[in-house]
Amino acid sequence: MSLTPVSAGFLPLVDAAPFIIARELGFAAEEGLDLSLTRAPSWSALRDLLAFGSVDAAHMLSAVPVAASLGIGGIRMPIDALMMTSQGGEMLAVSRPVARRMRDAGYGFDFADVPAARAALGAERLRIGIPFALSLHVELLRRAFGDALDLRTVPPPQMAEALDAGEIDAFIVGEPWASMAVERGKAELLLPGTAIWRGAPEKVLAMRRDRAEGAPDLTARLMRAVWRSCRWLEHPANRLPASEILARHIDVPPEVIERIMAHRLVISPEGEERRAPQFLQFFDGCATFPWRSQATWIGTRLAARHGLDIAAARDTAMSVFRTDLYRRNLGPAGADLPAASSRLEGAVTEPSLHPAAAGRVMLLPDPFFDGAVFDPDELPAPLSPPWAGSRPLT
């Protein structure tokens, strides 16, 4: 059988697994696709590869399609998030000198208490590495620690080197790069992003809208291949083979990847471990469903910082998360379909059944650390500019 070529870009992160596994285990081929993968050096480079047609699809930060569709960040182009490919998976790490000061002050690195971590960091203005200015990483930092942050853009694989060179004091990044900084004796893990927002929508399958809608059969087949990959990845028995496959694409030891996928994190070079519930979700709890309320949370925050019309931005953001394509293409494949496409974000406090298009679906906890609930029908006030205190390393 002749396979249809399709290309996807990715960054070397554990949460690129749905794309890598779709190719390596044949899920794409079973859909009649010859899936080729292009490894990008940074999120800005990957965004540009997608925007200018060098790749058909991408493993992408959830905020990037929203930002591009709003014209924020130098590109104005309709880019859609066809489905979520992972929730969580990001980690905040600090340098060893900062960690020592925190431990001396009595902080126990409990992986759970955001206000205690903020208090232990004190009033010192830390230089914090971020992978991309238009990312959920930044919004999580601002949600937990306020807007007075000194942010420096660093490509994910280079975080440990930037820390070691004294260019930053801390960083937030998708795994495995925080764990690898610990392995190299350069950092300690402070908080998982899921301690700030348990249900944080981290990565998506992104396509330009003209490509997604202009080739609907290819789009459907690619979505099914990636969705099947997400389902395979969620099974604990598949962690070891997945880790060995990913190690070849990410260039880190498979045992580090396996710990991350099992939500067991080594937080210091001395070998301390912590568990992080729901640290990285690929499938369970409707993890692949592109909730329009999550797009609204991202879009209204971006608009409020950039001085855009917030109500218009909300409508644009909701159109970016393609629940319509998800329902059309993945419902027949067996995907769980919630009855509604938006919800109150942060309102699920324990695993529970919720109305579905047919029957009920299980949703996992998604609280914010402060107990707040986001109503997508309520618009936020203007926020501080996103670029304040934020710049790339040179």
Share of the chain above pLDDT 70, in %: 96
Least confident of 21-25, 205-209, 289-293, 378-382: 378-382
pLDDT category of residue 168 using cuts at 50, 70 and 90 = very high
Question: Which 8-state DSSP code applies to residue 3?
Answer: P
Question: Which 8-state DSSP code applies to residue 389?
Answer: T
The residue type at 156: P
Asked if the model's pLDDT at residue 30 lies above 70, the reply is: yes
Asked if the model's pLDDT at residue 388 lies above 70, the reply is: no
pLDDT tens, residue by residue, 204-215: 999 999 999 999
- Residue 355 and residue 357: Cα distance in Å, rounded? 7
Which pLDDT score, from 0 to 100, does residue 343 have? 97
Asked if the model's pLDDT at residue 387 lies above 50, the reply is: no
pLDDT category of residue 11 using cuts at 50, 70 and 90 = very high
Which pLDDT score, from 0 to 100, does residue 383 have? 66
Asked if the model's pLDDT at residue 311 lies above 60, the reply is: yes
Q: Strand, helix or coil at 37?
A: strand
Which pLDDT score, from 0 to 100, does residue 385 have? 57
Asked if the model's pLDDT at residue 389 lies above 50, the reply is: no
Asked if the model's pLDDT at residue 73 lies above 50, the reply is: yes
Which pLDDT score, from 0 to 100, does residue 123 have? 83
Which pLDDT score, from 0 to 100, does residue 390 have? 46
pLDDT tens, residue by residue, 356-386: 999 999 999 999 999 999 999 998 776 655 4
Which pLDDT score, from 0 to 100, does residue 384 have? 59
Question: Which 8-state DSSP code applies to residue 235?
Answer: S
Asked if the model's pLDDT at residue 393 lies above 60, the reply is: no
Q: List the beta bridge partners of residue 77.
A: none
Share of the chain above pLDDT 90, in %: 93
Question: Which 8-state DSSP code applies to residue 147?
Answer: S
Which pLDDT score, from 0 to 100, does residue 14 have? 98
- Residue 176 and residue 90: Cα distance in Å, rounded? 9
Asked if the model's pLDDT at residue 91 lies above 90, the reply is: yes
Q: 270 Cβ partners below 8 Å, 6+ apart?
A: none
* Cβ(257)–Cβ(205) below 8 Å: no
Average pLDDT over residues 187-199: 97
The token duo for 211 is 């490509």
Asked if the model's pLDDT at residue 392 lies above 70, the reply is: no
* Cβ(291)–Cβ(199) below 8 Å: no
Q: Chain-centre distance of CA 332, in angstroms?
A: 26
Which pLDDT score, from 0 to 100, does residue 380 have? 78
Give the C-alpha distances (Å, rounded to integers) separating 27 from 48, 51, 229, 241, 260.
27, 25, 7, 15, 23
Mean pLDDT estimate for the chain: 95
The token duo for 135 is 């990312």
Which pLDDT score, from 0 to 100, does residue 147 have? 86
